[in-house]
Amino acid sequence: MAKMWEGVTAGQTDSLADDFNSSISFDKRLYKQDIKGSMAHAAMLASRGIISEEDCRLITSGLEGILTDLESGALAFDLSCEDIHMFVEQVLTERIGEAGKRLHTARSRNDQVALDLRLYLRDETDGITQLIKELMRALAGQAEKHTETIMPGYTHLQRAQPINFAHHLLAYVQMLKRDCGRLSDCRARMNVSPIGSCALAGTTYDTDRAMEAELLGFDGVCANSMDGVSDRDFCLELMSALSIMMMHLSRLSEELILWSSWEFRFVRLSDAFTTGSSIMPQKKNPDMAELIRGKTGRVYGDLAALLTTLKGLPLAYNKDMQEDKEAVFDAVDTAKMCLKVMAPMIDTMTVLPENMLKAAREGFINATDLADYLVRKGMPFRSAYKISGQIVACCTEKGKVLEDLSLEEYKGFSELFGEDLFPEIDIRNCMEKRTSEGGASSASAAKQLKELEI
């Protein structure tokens, strides 16, 4: 198609250069935001008498028609246009003539692209927040059923102390809650309008930026026109928040992979969220969890790519910035997909409490409680720690657990031991005694659940 600047430059651009320069193949997804932005712009121009009411009416109904036709499929994107902004303006002008040519008064594509992206990502941020909440609900739903399900809590992937499964899941709920907080912070800074910054220096027309911002649901306007067109912090902040969120999903995925292995057997993932092997008939592979873990790197990559793109750019707009979209779209699409899969995968997983309990019984995870018992009888903690270590070593040698030794055997290590020891090292008691705020008792898990606002 003919270039807008034809007549200004003498030569034709090479078709390779056109393809290289074009962004419509990926920015076409901004069509709705671009059209809404243009409607607001026309309304503002008319309110200031910069265009006539009649032109505004023609532009608005023309844009409405384009929106309807794009959505019904009656109008296809013309991929020979450089970008979505050029495409919409071109179709509008084809359809309504002269009035269409007045729309681009007092604006530039530089502020259009910044505007469209903010509008688009604002909605995506809200959508992602809802998806996170769904995952939180899925985790809380499982947690509700398992406040009394004992399992070993780990450090260094070594069995450490008794916890319940709900407590473990609720740790992830806290992470996701912070993720929602980060998204909401990021949304607040994102929600200011760059439109009216124009190419970089504002405009000589008597525009009403506040009106345009209000029509589009922004909380205010960017205070500096150069910043308005060159700022992509809102993309970076969103991608940072998504990277952290993906790191959380990846850690959860890693646990699901471990827990569903034959080595642990703590959970069984539903057939709907696992795959078989093409050669080994016995296999049930946690592909979805592995892919979420894998895609985490991809979202970090998107963030790193845009940070790197922006780091050397002089103000204001540079074409390098066109690279923002594929990175941020990919991060958004990937994060959404992962959240959409993770929630039902958690929802449908079968928990195997027997196996968790068995692992809890075998790992000397009551050894801290044994030491604490001696401390309560008056022994300094370090000495109690040492004796408890010796008892664990003795048990390991005999193939026993702490609960198996007789009082006689205990007395061989310290005269302080009495019959009241046994309830103190009972695994369930050990878990239930952890009543400190945020601790691992089932009462604490129940309280965490109760206080949860999703």
- Positions annotated as catalytic residues are 156, 277
| Choice between 235 and 252, CB closer to ligand ARG | 235
Nearest approach, Cβ of residue 83 and ligand ARG (Å)? 4
Structure tokens at 452: 């949860």
113 binds ligand ARG (CB under 6 A): yes
- Minimum Å gap between C-beta 86 and ligand ARG is 8
The smaller minimum CB distance to ligand ARG, of residues 303 and 321, is found at: 321
Binding mask 45-84 for ligand ARG (x = CB under 6 A): --------------------------------------x-
Of 27 and 212, nearer to ligand ARG (C-beta) is 27
- How many whole angstroms separate alpha carbon 2 and alpha carbon 265? 65
Does position 110 interact with ligand ARG (CB under 6 A)? The reply is yes
**Token pair belonging to 136:** 């939180």
The window from 243-251, 271-279, 315-323, 417-425 that contacts ligand ARG (CB under 6 A) reads: 315-323
**By the rule CB under 6 A, 27 interacts with ligand ARG:** yes
Considering only residues 115, 321, 356, 405, which one is a binding residue for ligand ARG as defined by CB under 6 A?
321
Task: Return the range that interacts with ligand ARG (CB under 6 A); candidates 231-239, 318-326, 420-428, 430-438.
Answer: 318-326
Strands 267-268 and 350-351 turn out to be antiparallel
Stretch (H or E) spanning 155: strand 150-155
- Give the H/E segment covering residue 158: strand 158-164
Peptide bond into 213 cis (omega under 30): no
Distance in Å from the first CA to the final CA of the chain = 51
CA dist., res. 218 & res. 196, Å (int): 13
Closest to ligand ARG by CB, 25 or 61 = 25
CA atoms within 13 A on the CB side of 157: 7
CA proximity to 173, closest of 139, 142, 148: 139
**Total interface residues for ligand ARG by CB under 6 A:** 10
Among 38, 230, 274, 322, binds ligand ARG (CB under 6 A): 322
- Report the phi/psi class of residue 79: left, alpha or beta, with left for phi > 0 and alpha for psi in -120 to 50: alpha
Q: What is the phi/psi pair of residue 153, to 5°?
A: -90, 145
What is the DSSP pairing of strand 220-221 with strand 192-193? parallel
Contact call for residue 367 and ligand ARG (CB under 6 A): no
CA-to-CA dists, residue 87 to 35, 44, 329, 378, angstroms? 11, 22, 20, 81
State which residue, 156 or 319, has the beta carbon closest to ligand ARG: 319
Of 41 and 168, the one with the shorter C-beta distance to ligand ARG is 41
Q: Which is nearer to ligand ARG, 112 or 250 (CB)?
A: 112
**Please, what is the minimum distance in Å from the beta carbon of residue 113 to ligand ARG?**
4
Residue 285: DSSP 8-state: B
Shortest reach from residue 81's CB to ligand ARG, in Å:
10
Closer residue to ligand ARG (CB): 107 or 159:
107
- Round to whole Å and give the CA distance between 42 and 96: 14
The DSSP code for 223 is S
Of 344, 354, 329, 376, residue with least CA distance to 120? 329
The least distance separating ligand ARG from the CB of residue 215, rounded to whole angstroms, comes to: 22
* Binder among 36, 102, 107, 109 for ligand ARG (CB under 6 A): 109
For the window 215-234, what string marks contact with ligand ARG as x by the rule CB under 6 A?
--------------------
CB-CB neighbours of 270 under 10 Å? 13
Distance in Å, CB of 40 to ligand ARG, minimum: 18
Residue 193's H or E segment, with its range, is strand 192-193
- Identify the CA nearest to 149 among candidates 168, 174, 176, 171: 168
Cα–Cα distance measured from residue 198 to residue 353, given in angstroms and rounded to the nearest whole number? 62
Q: Which stretch binds ligand ARG (CB under 6 A): 174-182, 316-324, 328-336, 423-431?
A: 316-324
Q: How far is the CB of 26 from ligand ARG (least distance, A)?
A: 9
Secondary structure of residue 296 in the 3-state scheme? helix
The answer to whether 230 and 315 have CB atoms below 8 angstroms apart is yes
The stretch among 66-74, 186-194, 314-322, 424-432 that binds ligand ARG (CB under 6 A) is: 314-322
Instruction: Work out how close the CB of 19 gets to ligand ARG at its nearest, in angstroms, rounded to a whole number.
Output: 14
Stretch that binds ligand ARG, among 48-56, 93-101, 105-113, 208-216 (CB under 6 A): 105-113
Q: What are phi and psi of 151, to 5 degrees?
A: -145, 165
User: CB 21 → ligand ARG: shortest distance, Å?
Assistant: 8
- Based on CB atoms, which residue is closest to ligand ARG, 110 or 274? 110
Q: Cα–Cα distance between 1 and 79 in angstroms, integer?
A: 10
| Stretch in the footprint of ligand ARG (CB under 6 A) among 132-140, 319-327, 349-357, 364-372 | 319-327
Distance CA(145)–CA(307), nearest Å, equals: 43
Query: By the criterion CB under 6 A, which residues form the site for ligand ARG?
Result: 23, 27, 83, 109-110, 113, 317, 319, 321-322
